[in-house]
Chains A and B, each alone.
Chain A
Amino acid sequence: MRQSILRVGAVTALWLLTGWPAAAHHGGDVEWGKETVGPITGTATKFSFQFPHVFFEMDVAEKGGIAPWTITTRWTPTILRDHGWTRDSIKPGDKVTVTYLPHVEKPHIGQMMTVEVNGQQLPLSF
């Protein structure tokens, strides 16, 4: 029984993460890869709670140095507000962990699929 539940959960998660289209409303849906990768963890430097898609920037320790990353969402501020986000959901200095769809051309940009801020998960699947 437990295995069946786990199997259903795994299939559902796979559908959510790979089968759910990376929808966008600003003119294209080709920029994101199909496979969710990560997680990566960094320190937030900026949170842009703005249209058309909310995004934030963070510094990630990488190859002995610090790499600046930009992580977008597929949602507008209004939709995220409906699900509990505010413009202070991510603040500079916060420790943020994300899984993401990688950009097809740019190595340090991704579209977040899950996000955890200082150990607290923020809702993204709705």
Chain B
Amino acid sequence: MRPICALAIVVAVLAAACAPPKSSSGARDFSGHWDRGSSIESFANTPGGTRGNELPGASEAPFTAAGRAAFDANKPGYGPRRAMKRNDPMGRCEPLGLVRNLVAEIVAPHATFEIVQTPTRILQIFEYRHDWREIWLDGRALPTGDALYPKWNGFSVGRFEGDELVVDSAGFDARSWLDKLGYPHSENMRVEERYRRIDADTLELAITITDPEYYTAPWRSDVKRFRANRGKAQRFDEQIYCIPAEEMTYQDLVGTGNVID
């Protein structure tokens, strides 16, 4: 056998070994545009997490003392603690951070993300702010030590458990909130996402954060449902960036105090 042929065989074998196992049903293909279907706009079913009546089972986060203090320092514009004078990073054009992006709290049609999936990597594109993150599926581990540093959307690796996609993430910038209600997180937060397609048009996502600095136990979100939006692929996107000159004009106009001088 020629060396080049042997090399080609080795490459093919390695590629097959690294690629995620195929599912005959397509349940492991998460590609597409997904719109939030749940009425809960907060990270979990917490008090004031919906725009309408509170849903049964709403409960407060399992705060540590430091977590409670950080929560109290965050002044949201939504929920039971909403106030005119606030310090929501969103109103200052700061990145939302991974969890808040995933929650897709924004009103329709912004409450949506797109997943572009390859055998070794997933790109998740968030409509609002045109933010994005990557999930590596090639078997690599999360970085450690100095290689793990704070990023808005963290570092993410994924694997399949059956037809469920499990994503582990670490390395977060603590300036972001978990949601519009002002729930905080530390730099050391770990995030686990579990994605499951329950039918052709429905994606389920459950998020668990582990952050002993701010929460006494792992804190799990409600099971978030997203509906496939096939029409979305047929039009140009919204182009909704946060332009500081425009956002500050608006924040100043409505008097939130959330203005960068």
Contact = CB atoms under 8 A, between A and B. Distances in A.
* A: contact size bracket: 20 to 34
A27 B86 CA distance: 8
Interface stretch (A5-13, A37-45, A87-95, A99-107): A99-107
Interface string A6-38: 000000000000000101111111110000000
18 contacts: A23-B51, A25-B90, A25-B107, A26-B90, A26-B91, A26-B251, A27-B90, A27-B180, A28-B86, A30-B78, A31-B254, A51-B242, A53-B250, A70-B253, A103-B254, A103-B255, A106-B254, A106-B255
A124 B3 CA distance: 69
A109 B251 CA distance: 13
Q: Of residues B86, B88, B253, B258, which shows the largest number of chain A Cβ atoms within 10 Å of its Cβ?
A: B253
Contacts of B180: 27
Contact of B240 (A76, A104, A106): A76
A72 B251 CA distance: 12
Contacts of B251: 26-27
B247 to A, nearest CB: 6
A52 interface: yes
- Most A CB contacts (10 A, CB to CB) among B83, B107, B255 go to B107
Contacts of B91: 26-28
Interface in A36-72: 48, 50-53, 55, 70, 72
A52 B91 CA distance: 10
B77 interface: yes
A52 B107 CA distance: 12
Interface of B: 51, 76-78, 82-84, 86, 88, 90-91, 106-107, 109-110, 128, 180, 238-243, 246-247, 249-251, 253-256, 258
B246 A30 contact: no
A25 B110 contact: yes
Contacts of A52: 240, 242, 246-247, 250
A48 to B, nearest CB: 8
A78 interface: yes
B255 A78 contact: no
Contacts of B254: 31, 72, 103, 106, 109
Q: Which of the listed residues B86, B128, B254 has the most CB atoms from chain A within 10 Å of its own CB?
A: B254
B112 to A, nearest CB: 12
B82 to A, nearest CB: 5
A51 B258 contact: no
Contacts of A29: 77-78, 82
